[in-house]
């Protein structure tokens, strides 16, 4: 896919994801609501996979809404500004999940299908390419 990054830029973006994950875990250790909650909600953004039941285009939209840093940062910032510890914890967990996914190479999706991401092909498609 011509819109995907490769080489050193791809490695750098994956390292950024790892940094987001580590920073979020450290922040959660300081400001979070217990590791049980972290474990329970860490994979919640992956519920957006259900959007693929309605097709690749809607699936990509749902996935990208749940895996964009924008939503997580809005929730975290609102929680901090409104002194809402639950929102702070939710935002941090959400950021940790996004960082985890990006570190593993799971990027934002294109409508062409689940395996087409801004970080390159994933899964069997990557091996076949």
For 23-41, b where at least 16 C-beta lie within 10 A, e where not — what string?
ebbebbeeebbeeeebeeb
Q: Is residue 84 part of a domain?
A: yes
Is residue 11 assigned to a domain? no
The pTM is what?
0.91
Does some domain include residue 128?
no
Predicted confidence (pLDDT) per residue in 36-85, tens digit: 999 999 999 999 999 999 999 999 999 999 999 999 999 999 999 999 99
In a domain, 129, yes or no: no
What range defines the domain where residue 60 resides? 21-120
Q: Residue 60 CB: number of other CB atoms within 10 A?
A: 22
Tell me, yes or no, whether 10 lies in a domain: no
- Residue 74 in domain: yes
The helix (run of H) or strand (run of E) holding residue 29 is helix 7-31
Assigned domain for 1 exists:
no
């Amino acid at each position: 896919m011509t819109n995907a990054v490769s080489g050193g830029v791809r490695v750098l973006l994956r390292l950024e994801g790892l940094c987001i994950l580590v920073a979020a875990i450290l922040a959660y250790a300081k400001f979070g609501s217990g590791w049980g909650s972290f474990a329970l909600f860490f994979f919640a953004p992956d519920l957006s996979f259900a959007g693929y039941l309605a097709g690749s285009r809607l699936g990509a939209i749902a996935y990208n809404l749940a895996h964009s840093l924008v939503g997580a940062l809005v929730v975290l910032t609102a929680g901090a500004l409104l002194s809402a510890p639950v929102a702070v914890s939710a935002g941090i967990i959400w950021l940790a999940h996004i960082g985890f996914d990006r570190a593993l190479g799971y990027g934002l999706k294109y409508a062409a299908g689940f395996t087409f991401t801004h970080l390159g092909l994933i899964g069997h498609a990557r091996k076949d390419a």
